[in-house]
Structure 1
């Protein structure tokens, strides 16, 4: 633990933000991380709680009390060793994870949780600055070859683990750059892409081969019917070719089938999926030229969907210079403070205000869109109604119809399943939600019904968090290693 009485002496210290007026002028990160002294104080607040619920609340089971104590002792090099023992990419999670570990913190029962995420952020940034993050190539090669299909966080974590076990790993990615939704979904102001790039260089030094611009199976619109995304892949590889060349194949694609809103007027120009809008700005930030980029400049923007993707659309629209931004949420407004005795140590249901909301956004709760209105083929507004939940379903509240002005509507209502092309090409069985059917059992975990084909990440569990993708990638890597070698020394 940290200081014995630290949790009674010190208050939680939040990471800071640069001023709104300053950060809206660019797409760089704007979070002000903790300095060494602040991180030490936060580490001192970690208490000797006997059972560290934070460890169980974290999907990768970070050994949180240990690295908190090491930061308090100012042993930063040991702290990054502990952190890396469970998490391949703490610079990703230290920036964009919602921190279920903090919800599970014992101090959170009747006080403010330890700032675990901010400590993790401080540890990994210090480690990169000090040059402690180095390639760890395998000492011995196994002669086994593994194909990883999908270069998001699940695929990256699995590939790194398998390469360190001595296997020859090739990662296939349909996009022109590695990272999946980390690269082309999460805005740069939340996580700059240099963090992905330096991990890719580390993994290349460890023997991982990346083949970008390659579709495995038949090429298909990545967002499903109705989207206007162009597939940038330049090469197609068949499942048969992979199964012939490699000893094992691990599918780690995303849950990219966006949830649609099939109401009248859906085909009007100006109504788009969030994943048409967000990747374009990321490409522009990377120096690409995007013809006909979707822009929010001077427009009245409606974002339908109250989650993180919707929040990302809000932040990006404000940086474009939108005239107004309004975000719709079907559910009623949550309470500002959760009922801790009822929900702890689980993820609480409460009102969450993101940094993007603070930059300028009207939020509408318990609202449903009935129709997209337009003139000359272009969207001009939305017809809505308030709803309430009764008898297991949403019902309209009479007399609450309203029209909102809109020049751009972004659908950010989540993702329903993986795009089925890859699973169908391999003949992988799907569950009721359209995900790859594969269990997480210790014996044969992550294996599909197809011999030597495994699945992990969002393609298996559905839309989820980056930290869950890293967990599944690591666990699947162990299962693949066991399949190839009969045993595995990789952590699960």
Structure 2
């Protein structure tokens, strides 16, 4: 505990991000870091709440409440208040291998379940987390720590996203010989290709990858398991295999005009821009450009929001983001959305803030259903047709969309980006070794155990649970490593 009355004495503060119009001129992170004095004051707001829900990490009402990696938040808040940064870093690393990732891109469900939020503004947890790890790197406290003893057991990890990296880090810590296979040309999975540099600069990812390599993890890029190496061969060659390939099969929009030039999947758009930026600062032109175009993003989630931010930096003429959900209320509904559920309230994410600064309004259109795409004589997209909808849940729990008569509308568009989620993992590896799948096509493996129906093969992250948060991926990677260690050694000291 910091100070008993801190939550009453001090107001919640957040770092002032870079000016929206200024940051649109580059592709660098928009975050700023608070001063140590500010952070200490924010740490003092953490109260003696008896049972802190901030680190529970549970699912409530279809969303996450608390921290899935069970960060020891009250402990390191107290240590920051007391100026004990090195000790705070040690506490942070006990539960989270990569706080430099979560401190930047996690939506902070910990803050949504903060007890102070019951009677006021929650503690500024996320900013403190990022500050602790960055202080650790600045001071030279974060160094490679190779295991002192090797077991001789060989483990393959397929996929180098947050789940794969977390599994590799923990298995290497246990002394196993770990090889991570990545089909892309860079290690990091969606941390590199999927999340724009404005949210997570790639040198931050590479910094951690270099540390893992120093500790003994072997990384193999440009190698797709199931194609370059058969999945069956991989299982034969290693003592255990952990599949962390993600839920990368995009959900399509099957409708009239989908084949038109100018209609693209969001990840093709984002990945192309990120790759071109990393390789040539966008000078090679090997990406889908939104410059001088009227752009519509279909999808109201994080991927859609990242498309908005990217299109703004390309220099689009206009930008609109469609979502099928209604506009959220300004304040949490205490009946429909009680604490400690994640608060469903109206906010502007970084991209919407930028669009509003540039064009004067929030780019989102709520409760909109796209009906069809329309093109010109040359097959180029020129417009799309929509209708307003009401969304409700029936007695079986299904989401039902009811069109509102008379609300049809035509929107001018040169470029449409489809960001309506993912259907699950790709099937190549699954089919090659006969992995069982659940009703949503994810690899079937129980949470907390991660063992598939195939001997020696484990699955974790989005490939097992479906599209989810980075922090859940880290949680599953860590836990899967523990289960693999038990499988190989009979017992495990991993958390």
Whole-angstrom distance in 1 between the partners of 2:295 and 2:447: 41
The aligned length equals 471
Whole-angstrom distance in 1 between the partners of 2:461 and 2:17: 31
Q: Deviations over 1:287-339 (max 9, x none)?
A: 25755420000000000000111110000000011000000001111112112
Q: Show the counterpart of 2:173.
A: 164
SS in 2 for 1:249: strand
- Asked whether 1:463 is paired with 2:472, we answer no
Q: Show the counterpart of 1:414.
A: 421
- Asked whether 1:283 is paired with 2:275, we answer yes
Q: Which moved more, 1:345-354 or 1:363-372?
A: 345-354
Q: Show the counterpart of 2:333.
A: 339
Q: Show the counterpart of 2:266.
A: 274
Q: Show the counterpart of 2:243.
A: 251
Whole-angstrom distance in 2 between the partners of 1:217 and 1:472: 23
Report if aligned partners of 1:168, 1:207 keep a CA contact under 8 Å in 2. Answer: yes
Report if aligned partners of 1:283, 1:290 keep a CA contact under 8 Å in 2. Answer: no
Question: 1:475 Cα deviation (Å)?
Answer: 0.1
Question: 1:389 Cα deviation (Å)?
Answer: 2.6
Q: Deviations over 1:240-277 (max 9, x none)?
A: 22122210000001101111111100000100010000
Question: 1:422 Cα deviation (Å)?
Answer: 1.6
Whole-angstrom distance in 2 between the partners of 1:385 and 1:134: 55
> Could you tell me the TM-score, scaled by structure 1's length?
0.94
Q: Show the counterpart of 1:231.
A: none
Q: Show the counterpart of 2:487.
A: 483
Whole-angstrom distance in 1 between the partners of 2:321 and 2:23: 21
Whole-angstrom distance in 1 between the partners of 2:342 and 2:13: 21
Q: Which moved more, 1:423-432 or 1:105-114?
A: 423-432
Q: Show the counterpart of 2:188.
A: 179
Question: 1:238 Cα deviation (Å)?
Answer: 1.0
Q: How does 1:87-486 map to 2 (within 5 A)?
A: 87-218=96-227, 236-288=228-280, 292-340=286-334, 342-360=337-355, 361-375=362-376, 376-389=378-391, 392=394, 393-441=400-448, 445-486=449-490
Report if aligned partners of 2:272, 2:286 keep a CA contact under 8 Å in 1. Answer: no
Report if aligned partners of 1:297, 1:322 keep a CA contact under 8 Å in 2. Answer: yes
Whole-angstrom distance in 2 between the partners of 1:433 and 1:185: 22
RMSD across aligned C-alpha pairs, in angstroms? 1.1
Report if aligned partners of 1:264, 1:371 keep a CA contact under 8 Å in 2. Answer: yes
Show structure 1 runs of 4+ deviating over 3 A: 288-292
Q: Which moved more, 1:407-416 or 1:330-339?
A: 330-339
SS in 2 for 1:67: helix
User: Are residues 107 and 163 of structure 1, via their aligned partners in 2, closer, same or farther at CA, if it must alter by over 3 Å?
Assistant: same
Question: 1:343 Cα deviation (Å)?
Answer: 1.8
SS in 2 for 1:488: coil
Q: Which moved more, 1:415-424 or 1:473-482?
A: 415-424
Q: Which moved more, 1:70-79 or 1:412-421?
A: 412-421
User: Are residues 70 and 423 of structure 1, via their aligned partners in 2, closer, same or farther at CA, if it must alter by over 3 Å?
Assistant: same
| Structure 1 gap segments, 5+ residues each | 219-235
SS in 2 for 1:199: helix
Whole-angstrom distance in 1 between the partners of 2:158 and 2:364: 38
Whole-angstrom distance in 1 between the partners of 2:346 and 2:255: 28
- Asked whether 1:42 is paired with 2:34, we answer no
Whole-angstrom distance in 1 between the partners of 2:391 and 2:95: 41
Report if aligned partners of 1:27, 1:189 keep a CA contact under 8 Å in 2. Answer: yes
